[in-house]
Amino acid sequence: MFKHEKPLFHPVAVERPNPQYAALLQEQLGGANGELKAALQYMSQSFRIKDPEIKDLFMDIAAEELGHMEMVAQTINLLNGHDVDFTKTDAGEIQTHVLLGLNPGLINASGYSWTADYVSVTGDLCADLLSNIASEQRAKVVYEYLYRQIDDKKVKETIDFLLNREEAHNAMFREAFNKVQDTGSNRDFGTTQAAKMYFSMSEPSPKNTTLDGIAGKPPAFQ
């Protein structure tokens, strides 16, 4: 069961309208790494989770992502102002000017519709957790790009809050993965000698790599 509480998860504001930036921010509403994708992915994954603590974690984060979606939509509204005028959007989607009346839509920054193909569900907890960790990391990157392209202090405050919450979710999913990393696909596969082999395909090779994976070791990236 869900309920809607009228106060936003975190207050949002803008210093001035900026329709062009509103088009950019649409990416985090209806894009492949946006808030709707995250909410529905974590919720969908939770349906088969047996561990009650991890199931609650998925649902709690999914609910928060819906709150983030509301924040993003309200920020888009404030940035758009109240007049339909496509000339204020020099590039990017203009669909909201002719179809939605500037209502924030389930589209990305180019006007492409949100799709359930963005959602990744495997039924394997380890795989889903790793997917979620990557999703949070990609969302952080998008918010970082958005942060660099606006000088509105109030909008930057909102993005900074959302970016930090993505980092919090990332840490929560990593902690959950540490708890279950010896289960599911991690338990069933990757236990033979073949899983420990490293083949150097770079010539000339900096190391003499053997098939047994002992004398030759994979590079350590710092």
Write out pLDDT tens, residues 187-215. 766 566 666 677 777 776 655 555 554 44
Residue at 12 is within a domain: no
Q: Known binder of ligand: residue 144?
A: no
Give the Cα-Cα-Cα angle 66, 71, 77 (nearest 5 degrees).
125
Does the annotation flag 97 for ligand binding? no
Residue 135: what pLDDT? 96
Domain count, the chain: 2
Q: Identify whether residues 206 and 157 lie together within a single domain.
A: no
> Do 198 and 106 have their domain in common?
no
Is residue 137 domain-shared with residue 165, that is, in the same domain? yes
Residue 76 is predicted with a pLDDT of 96
For position 107, what pLDDT does the model report?
A: 95
Shared domain for 204 and 101, answered yes or no, is no
Domain range enclosing 34: 19-185
35 is in an annotated binding site: yes
Q: Distance between CA 146 and CA 221 in Å, rounded? A: 29
Residue 136 is assigned to a ligand binding site:
yes
pLDDT confidence of residue 77: 95
What is residue 26's DSSP assignment?
A: T
Q: What pLDDT is recorded for position 183?
A: 78
Residue corresponding to tokens 């975190």: 10
Number of H helices, E strands in the chain: 8, 0
The pLDDT value given to residue 222: 45
Residues 25 and 116 in one domain: yes
217 lies in some domain: yes
Task: Determine the Cα–Cα distance for residues 130 and 32; give it in Å rounded to an integer.
Answer: 17
| Contact (CB, 8 A) for 180 and 125 | yes
**pLDDT attached to residue 45:** 97
**What are the pLDDT digits (tens) for 110-130?**
999 999 999 999 999 999 999
202 assigned binding-site residue: yes
Q: Is 93 annotated as a binding residue?
A: no
Regions of the chain short of the pLDDT cut 50: 213-215, 221-222
